[in-house]
Each structure stands twice: as C-alpha cells, then as structure tokens.
C-alpha cells in the first residue's frame, strides 16, 4: 500500500510512491562526465577576468590572490537604488522592486563543487554567507534574505563556476510566513520547537540519518518532497543563521561536505540546489523559528499534478534513500 506523509514544516502532503518500485539506483543519471578544466578563459568568474563582473563588495584574500569574491549580480532583477514604496489600487497590490542580489564566487577554481571543495574553503564560503546575510539586513528596505546555491542546468543556472547567491527582497514571501505560522502553532500547541522535536525524533529513530556531527545532523526527512531531499539541522536551537558561531561554521562545513559527497558519488554528480532557510537576525531568540539548510538534488521534474495540487509525489521511499546514501563508497583521489 502506498502512503501519504504530511511534511509538518511545509504543511503539505507527499505521496510516497512505494508501489512504483523505484530503487535508489534508478535516479543515477549515467551521464558522460565532462571533466572541466580548473580554469576557463571565457568564464567571468575565473581569475584574470575580474573586470567582467561589477567590482566586489567583499573579498577573502591570501598571498596569491583572492579565495572568495562577492560581487553584485550583473543580471539582477531587483534594483539596489530607490525607495521601497507600496502601491495599492483595488486588486493590484505592488511594491517597488528594490532589493540586493549578490553572487558569491566560492573559489578561483572553475571545476570544484561543494563535494570536492577543501573543507577550509567551504568554511570560508559559509562565513561569507553569514557576512552578507548580516550586511543585507542592515538595509531597512530589506524584509527577507535568501541564501541559495544552484549547481547544474537542471537547477536553473547556466554558469558552471562554483557560486552561490544571497538575495534580499523588500517583502516577506508568503511561503516563509506560512512556515513561521506552522511552527508558531506547533509551539503554542505543544510547548516544543517543531525543529528541535524533529531532530530528537530523527536521532532516536535513526533510519533516515545521514551524518551526525557535533553541532549538526543531516537526514532525509520523513516526508521528503523528492528523491534524496535532505535537511541539515543545527542541534542548538536558534532562530537565525545570523547567530552561527565559528565552531559551528567549521562543523557545518564538515557536515555539508560529507553529505554532498554522498550525493556526488552516489548519484553521479547530480544537479542540485541548496537553500539556507532562516529567520532574520532579530529572530535569533524566537522560541519557534529554527534555521536549517535544505538540499534538493534535481533528479525529477514537477508535472501538472504537482502544479495543480501543491502536493508532491516522491517516487523513492525516504528510508531507502537514506540507506543508499549511507552505503555510498567514497572514491578518494579520483
């Protein structure tokens, strides 16, 4: 019998399509792996081409040049200049499109990805995310900041060079407000933080756990929205990524790299997105907001059913996904 599971954070039903008999291996795209060079002359993010991007707003240097550059997104859809003004005419409700869009160039090397990046580099990427997150929230026009990474064409990017994005928008998205409302309702109903309770339940169950480090735990959610959907939760309750401490940054780098390495070898270099879901800096002490990181390998395509219902069909049982990933053989020195 197939099963529907309720994703409590998203408050949406997921059909776990057990009967389809899909095995984890069915999602491995056997694609001819292109071995990209570590430098590409035409790439605007490669060293030597710094003039092809707007001037950086933040940089990490070492003796040999930059290790990380943050630049305004040349193809920004929001305008950095201007007032945030609302228009309100009957059913037409609008806001001026002010906002900040930055690109984090994560490394000078063209052909790295999160799984293959040295852990020190990944630590600096997370440190940079925190820096830009705090910086953007200083702008009073910014209501919400999203940190995300697109990797590979199925993820919605055309740029190969390892990069992530930090975007500040002048409104609170409905999806975010809706998650906050669910978490708040859960807290007032039960006295518990939904995320803290999820972490302790997952740890004592164990079947969906991937990687349990000092401060973080990665796991396939009970109601994973798609095959190999993964959450990385901080074990310390905190409403905002703004609050991440140096020792936690180091541990998150370890956990994220380990988890992404399972995906990288297990699924043969899949396209993916990851997203940091966080309250604003002012939410640090919230009892019910708890930030986390969500990883979505892009191995399936949404159809009219998902568009029409908002529900998800996950053709892979979450426990099987987790077991498969835990057993991935890591090919060092490949």
- Residue numbers 143-162 binding a second copy by CB under 8 A: 144, 146-150, 153-157
Choose the binding region for a second copy from 35-43, 58-66, 123-131, 139-147 (rule: CB under 8 A): 139-147
Instruction: Kindly list the distances between the CA atom of residue 315 and the CA atoms of 18, 22, 289, 298, in Å, as whole numbers in the listed order.
Output: 7, 6, 30, 13
Interactions with a second copy, residue window 41-100 (CB under 8 A) = 75-79, 82, 90-98
CB of 96 closer than 8 Å to CB of 85: yes
Q: Which of 100, 169, 220, 263 binds a second copy (CB under 8 A)?
A: 169
> Which lies closer to a second copy via its Cβ, residue 142 or residue 250?
142
Q: How far is the CB of 64 from a second copy (least distance, A)?
A: 30
CB of 72 closer than 8 Å to CB of 102: yes
Interactions with a second copy, residue window 211-230 (CB under 8 A) = 222
> Which lies closer to a second copy via its Cβ, residue 30 or residue 91?
91
Rounded distance between C-alpha atoms, residue 127 and residue 250, angstroms: 9
Interactions with a second copy, residue window 309-328 (CB under 8 A) = 309-311, 313, 315
CB of 146 closer than 8 Å to CB of 167: yes
Choose the binding region for a second copy from 63-71, 112-120, 235-243, 300-308 (rule: CB under 8 A): 300-308
Q: Which of 23, 268, 302, 330 binds a second copy (CB under 8 A)?
A: 302
Tell me how far the alpha carbon of residue 190 is from its chain's centroid: 28
Q: For residue 205, what are the contacts with CB-CB under 8 A and spacing of at least 6?
A: none
Q: Report phi then psi at 66, rounded to 5.
A: -90, 150
Rounded distance between C-alpha atoms, residue 310 and residue 263, angstroms: 26
Q: Say whether residue 165 binds a second copy (CB under 8 A).
A: yes
> Which lies closer to a second copy via its Cβ, residue 61 or residue 185?
185
> Which lies closer to a second copy via its Cβ, residue 76 or residue 284?
76
């Amino acid at each position: 019998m197939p099963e529907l599971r309720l994703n409590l954070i998203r408050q949406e039903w997921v059909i776990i399509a057990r009967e389809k008999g899909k095995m984890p291996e069915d999602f491995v795209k056997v694609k001819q792996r292109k071995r990209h060079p570590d430098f590409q002359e035409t790439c605007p993010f490669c060293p030597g081409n710094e003039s092809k991007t707007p001037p950086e707003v933040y940089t990490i240097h070492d003796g040999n040049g930059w290790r990380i550059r943050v630049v305004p997104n040349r193809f920004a859809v929001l305008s950095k200049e201007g007032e945030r003004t609302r228009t309100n005419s009957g059913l037409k409700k609008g806001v001026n499109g002010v906002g900040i869009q930055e690109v984090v160039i994560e490394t000078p090397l063209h052909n790295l990805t999160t799984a293959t990046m040295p852990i020190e580099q990944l630590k600096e990427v997370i440190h940079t995310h925190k820096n830009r997150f705090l910086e953007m929230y200083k702008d009073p026009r910014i209501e919400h900041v999203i940190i995300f990474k697109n990797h590979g064409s199925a993820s919605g990017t055309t740029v190969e060079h390892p990069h992530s994005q930090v975007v500040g928008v002048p409104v609170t998205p409905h999806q975010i407000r809706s998650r906050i409302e669910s978490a708040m309702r859960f807290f007032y109903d039960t006295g518990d933080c939904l995320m803290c309770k999820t972490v302790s339940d997952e740890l004592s169950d164990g079947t969906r756990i991937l990687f349990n480090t000092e401060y973080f735990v990665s796991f396939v959610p009970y109601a994973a929205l798609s095959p190999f959907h993964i959450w990385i939760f901080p074990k310390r309750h905190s409403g905002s990524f703004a609050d991440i401490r140096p020792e936690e940054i180091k541990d998150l780098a370890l956990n994220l790299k380990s988890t992404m390495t399972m995906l990288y070898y297990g699924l043969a270099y899949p396209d993916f997105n990851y997203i940091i879901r966080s309250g604003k800096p002012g939410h640090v002490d919230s009892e019910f907001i708890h930030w986390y990181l969500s990883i979505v390998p892009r191995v399936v395509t949404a159809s009219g059913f998902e568009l029409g219902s908002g529900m998800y069909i996950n053709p892979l049982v979450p426990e099987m996904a987790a077991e498969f990933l835990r057993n991935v053989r890591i090919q060092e020195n490949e």
